[in-house]
Structure 1
């Protein structure tokens, strides 16, 4: 697993030991960043099911100012810390060991907002519609902000039930990437 582009291009990252996480393939990662970037002029991103932290670190490498990493797995949290250290990005990352729902509630209480939110939960435990509804209802995404959802191709998010625009949906075998954008209210 490597960083594909940006300041840290080519840097190899560690995977989470064992088989508790499903890393995003380099092909899918490259496609995602081509759809949403490929580079950023600052901003804050949230990686809600961070695993190794590769998506957040890729975002930092491509210009995000700060990344918040959330995962409930102890090995994943250790791997994120290690990968931030390898990339010399410790000062740009906040790492929390908790589940997604608790993290979203804590973020709401702290009144934080994000420019980019990446959601890639385990396919068997996906609650994406509820999570994006919470993000929308509690205004956790800035105007113009983007949510990237990586999910099983069996799940359709065309009727996601939020005010966000569905900008793109691409399938890669059993994986689908859906891009939602928080359009400024005056554009709607």
Structure 2
């Protein structure tokens, strides 16, 4: 695993030890960033179920100002912190060792907003729709923001959730599909 592009291009990232997490492959990571925009001028990223932190770190390398990483697994939190040190993003990265829903509730109270939100829950715990609804109700995504949902290929997420519409769905294998959401351009 490595940083694909940007100011930390080529930096190797550690994977979380064990089999409790499944990192997004470099090929999938590169493809999804080509879809959402290869580079960013500022903004914040939220990496839910962050695992090794690869997606949030990639966003930082490509120009996001800050990233919040959320994972409740101690080994994942330690790996994220090590990867932030390796990439010299300790100041731009904030790591929460908590349940993703609890962090979303905290961010809602703080009225935080993000340009990029990555959701990659364990495939057996499909929480995408509930999280999309909470993000919508909280105005947590900025107007030009994108939500990236990695899910099992056997799961079809709705075309619309609240004010969000799925703008693209990309299947990468029999196991992995990524759905991209942004605010609907025309309210119905």
After TM superposition, the score normalised by the length of structure 2 is 0.96
Question: 1:83 maps to which residue?
Answer: 83
How far apart in 2 are the matches of 1:128 and 1:183? Answer: 17
Question: 1:182 maps to which residue?
Answer: 183
Q: How many residues align?
A: 186
Residue by residue over 1:120-141, the C-alpha shift from the partner in whole angstroms, topping out at 9 and shown as x without a partner, is 0110112111110111011111
The 3-state SS of whatever aligns with 1:168 is strand
Residue by residue over 1:61-107, the C-alpha shift from the partner in whole angstroms, topping out at 9 and shown as x without a partner, is 00000000000000000000000000011000000000111010000
Q: What are the residue-to-residue correspondences of 1:1-188 with 2, within 5 Å?
A: 1-173=1-173, 174-183=175-184, 187-188=186-187
Which structure: greater helix fraction?
A: 1
| Aligned residues of 1:72 and 1:98 also touching (Cα < 8 A) | yes
How far apart in 1 are the matches of 2:160 and 2:126? Answer: 13
Residue by residue over 1:135-184, the C-alpha shift from the partner in whole angstroms, topping out at 9 and shown as x without a partner, is 10111111111100000011111344321121110101111110101256
State which drifts further: 150-159 or 130-139.
Answer: 150-159
| Aligned residues of 2:159 and 2:165 also touching (Cα < 8 A) | no
Name structure 1 gaps, 5 residues minimum: none
Deviation at 1:111, TM superposition (A): 0.8
After TM superposition, the score normalised by the length of structure 1 is 0.96
The 3-state SS of whatever aligns with 2:161 is coil
Pairwise CA RMSD of aligned residues? 1.1
| Aligned residues of 2:53 and 2:80 also touching (Cα < 8 A) | yes
